[in-house]
Structure 1
Amino acid sequence: MISNTEKNRFCFAKKLLNIYPMSYLYTVFGIPIRSEIVLPAFQPLVDNGTENDTIVVKIGKTDGLFSQSITTTRAMCRFNADEFLYEMPKVGKYFVKNGNEIIIQPLTDNMDSVLVFFYSNALAAALFQRNKLLIHASGIIDKNGKVWLFVAPSRVGKSTTALMLHQLGYPLFSDDIVMFHNTANKNMVTPSYPMIRIWQNTLEAQTVFDQESIYQIRPAVEKYGVLFHDTFDPSPREIAGLVFLKIGEEKIEITDLNGKEGFGYLNDNFYRKQWLSGMGKNNLKFKDLTYLAKNTSFWLASRPREMTSFKDFAEAIDKQIISKNG
């Protein structure tokens, strides 16, 4: 049974339909998006061309939508191979079906907060349903047009490292997640969307973006979204190398890794990897991991835990890895 509070929140959500008619076209990971609501982080799409590959985003109720048995339950989500429900208390519920439909039920009138979990979780589930896997990485583009990926769990410094390298002159490629695929025997990645997420201390240290490009992602959370639509290129690019980031002890250290070591680090950094087995994607994951490990160069870069600025870290990565191998 739906509580009165949830009913009131749902009434708010339905009112959004009057504000945001179903007329917004975007693209993300090269996939067309047709949305009832504004998705500020996504790249506008002028002409969809075909409806066959589109992901449709709607506002609606998410209760009672499963048509198949739930096979897996994880923290805040329940799912089977084709249907996925994610619930963030007091923020929103997100139902994803067959890789082509996402229904959002807002539980707050703060749509920025609602969209945080759409971008990070609902979209990932839709891609997994399409047999597309994501790496937990941020990236920049080198002088040869190839991509260097910085791979690490949350809060280690992927976004900040990429932003500091951007200040050294490297264009931003993508933040937090990229989609891997193999094309013509090349390791390729497609960027997500033109927004990078940074914490307050990084915001104060960066000098590239002005306040018009920055907004606070969630109330009472000192994390900010930085939009870079004007310079974003959605084209897939070849991987130049992967740099795994780590918090160390005393000094900056950078070392080469072999394929076996790279395989292990990659295995730990597939995006939302805890969902993959429940969705039947382990074979696909192993195939992608194996190919990447055999055909990619890897490095491990660690920085001191007490290091408050990433400037020296970014310069060391540039000097010892990118400029040397790019």
Structure 2
Amino acid sequence: MTYLYTAFGLVIESDIFLMGMLIYDGAKPVDTVSIRLVSPTDGFTLKSEKKGDFLDAEIGEGEVLYKVEGTAHYLIREGREILVRPFTGDQRLLGGYIYGRCMTVILFQRNLFPFHSSAVVDSRDKLWMIVGRSHAGKSSTALMLSERGLKFFSDDMVLLRPEDGMVMASPTYPVAGIRRRTMEYQHTFTESDGMPAITEEGRTNVFFHNRFVNQSKQLAGVLHIRKFGEEIRFEKISSVQGMAVLKANINMHNWLLYLDKERELFRLLSIVCRQVPFWSVVRPVSTATYESLAGRIHKEIIR
């Protein structure tokens, strides 16, 4: 049995059931991404000369062989197919490595660039990205903003692309990985809405298919969250600083060096930084500020 899904503006035909993707119910286009299971006895090798190794992956020209020993080997080629050599029959485990690294490689191979970011949609139907290091508070801030009436757009990834003179964000996945402490503060989801994440301990993957925003949205601005000091502070930053912030938050940035995509990424960043404002958002290190931070962002920046 095969399944049809949509993510990042693409249609995906998969042999694997992917609970965290949105079902696609339109006519299948010619340009699809194919995810196919092959025999566990089939050996995978790169057809092209290997350019380098990074994070259990062999990277060649137009292809990447990503190995998760004990789970599967994933051969990702030309932005069009992911071949999966399984070592387990657990389809949830097999799919767990497709959402992030495998689909990111597919996007890179198509000259598309996903950012490690949460996002919300404001009352004008425009999108705000929330970026920062792991544990900075991206997901929790997005969830708290959604409880103030904004629409929750994405928990973990945002794909940007220029379109008709604007910067647009494409829909990603109707799943959010919420850490245990954040689950205690937010009221949007409950434990019963999801299940423990299989690729990161201490997270719950919750699903929001029924409230998922499945349309591209124009980018309004970027918030860079970091923990520092003992008080909340906001500061508008320059486009040059904004470019550095975005580049630091490209998903799996180190892989770009081997995939020769730095020039295409620079073009995108230049367009984004000319069109939208960037804000530095500082939250206290030792004080819980989930609700107060979201309240001030809503009042003073997004409005």
TM-score (norm 2): 0.94
Q: Does 1:57 align with 2:32?
A: no
What amino acid is the match of 2:210?
Answer: D
Match of 1:315 among 264, 272, 295: 295
Residues 215-267 of structure 1, C-alpha deviations (whole Å, 9 max, x = no match) = 11128811111111111122111011100111112111111111111111112
Q: 3-state DSSP class of the match of 2:98?
A: helix
Question: Do 2:283 and 2:289's aligned partners in 1 also have CA atoms closer than 8 Å?
Answer: no
CA shift, 1:312, in A, is 1.7
Once residues 302 and 97 of structure 1 are traced to their aligned partners in structure 2, the CA distance between those partners, rounded to angstroms, is 40
Question: Do 1:259 and 1:297's aligned partners in 2 also have CA atoms closer than 8 Å?
Answer: yes
CA shift, 1:110, in A, is 4.3
Once residues 106 and 295 of structure 2 are traced to their aligned partners in structure 1, the CA distance between those partners, rounded to angstroms, is 37
Match of 1:268 among 248, 262, 266: 248
Q: Does 1:131 align with 2:111?
A: yes
Once residues 200 and 189 of structure 1 are traced to their aligned partners in structure 2, the CA distance between those partners, rounded to angstroms, is 28
What amino acid is the match of 2:219?
Answer: I
* Correspondence for 1:195: 175
* Correspondence for 1:6: none
Q: Does 1:162 align with 2:171?
A: no
CA shift, 1:109, in A, is 4.7
Question: Do 2:45 and 2:65's aligned partners in 1 also have CA atoms closer than 8 Å?
Answer: no
CA 1:257–1:250 in 2, change beyond 3 Å: closer, same or farther? same
Q: Does 1:35 align with 2:17?
A: no
Q: Does 1:44 align with 2:23?
A: yes
Question: Do 2:52 and 2:60's aligned partners in 1 also have CA atoms closer than 8 Å?
Answer: yes
Question: Do 1:248 and 1:304's aligned partners in 2 also have CA atoms closer than 8 Å?
Answer: yes
Query: Structure 1 stretch 218-227 or stretch 176-185: which is displaced more?
Result: 218-227
Once residues 5 and 268 of structure 2 are traced to their aligned partners in structure 1, the CA distance between those partners, rounded to angstroms, is 27
CA shift, 1:175, in A, is 1.9
CA shift, 1:283, in A, is 0.7
Once residues 30 and 231 of structure 1 are traced to their aligned partners in structure 2, the CA distance between those partners, rounded to angstroms, is 18
CA 1:315–1:108 in 2, change beyond 3 Å: closer, same or farther? farther
* Correspondence for 2:159: 179
Question: Do 1:33 and 1:55's aligned partners in 2 also have CA atoms closer than 8 Å?
Answer: yes
TM-score (norm 1): 0.87
Question: Do 1:81 and 1:129's aligned partners in 2 also have CA atoms closer than 8 Å?
Answer: no
* Correspondence for 1:299: 279
CA 1:291–1:165 in 2, change beyond 3 Å: closer, same or farther? same
Question: Do 2:44 and 2:75's aligned partners in 1 also have CA atoms closer than 8 Å?
Answer: no
RMSD, aligned CA: 1.7
Residues 37-73 of structure 1, C-alpha deviations (whole Å, 9 max, x = no match) = 21001110112332x2111112224733311111121
Match of 1:82 among 34, 47, 62: 62
Once residues 63 and 164 of structure 1 are traced to their aligned partners in structure 2, the CA distance between those partners, rounded to angstroms, is 47
What amino acid is the match of 2:35?
Answer: V
Alignment of 1:219-298 (within 5 A): 221-298=201-278
Equivalent pairs, count: 301
Counting aligned pairs with the same residue, the percent is 27
Match of 1:122 among 73, 77, 102: 102
Once residues 267 and 65 of structure 1 are traced to their aligned partners in structure 2, the CA distance between those partners, rounded to angstroms, is 31
CA shift, 1:273, in A, is 1.0
What amino acid is the match of 2:130?
Answer: F
Once residues 321 and 152 of structure 1 are traced to their aligned partners in structure 2, the CA distance between those partners, rounded to angstroms, is 17
Once residues 262 and 183 of structure 1 are traced to their aligned partners in structure 2, the CA distance between those partners, rounded to angstroms, is 20
CA 1:220–1:53 in 2, change beyond 3 Å: closer, same or farther? closer
Question: Do 1:28 and 1:192's aligned partners in 2 also have CA atoms closer than 8 Å?
Answer: yes
Once residues 45 and 111 of structure 1 are traced to their aligned partners in structure 2, the CA distance between those partners, rounded to angstroms, is 19
Once residues 290 and 316 of structure 1 are traced to their aligned partners in structure 2, the CA distance between those partners, rounded to angstroms, is 29
Question: Do 1:93 and 1:105's aligned partners in 2 also have CA atoms closer than 8 Å?
Answer: yes
What amino acid is the match of 2:17?
Answer: V
Question: Do 2:22 and 2:209's aligned partners in 1 also have CA atoms closer than 8 Å?
Answer: yes
Q: 3-state DSSP class of the match of 2:13?
A: strand
CA shift, 1:153, in A, is 2.7
Once residues 37 and 113 of structure 1 are traced to their aligned partners in structure 2, the CA distance between those partners, rounded to angstroms, is 10
Residues 7-64 of structure 1, C-alpha deviations (whole Å, 9 max, x = no match) = xxxxxxxxxxxxxx2x2111011111111121001110112332x2111112224733
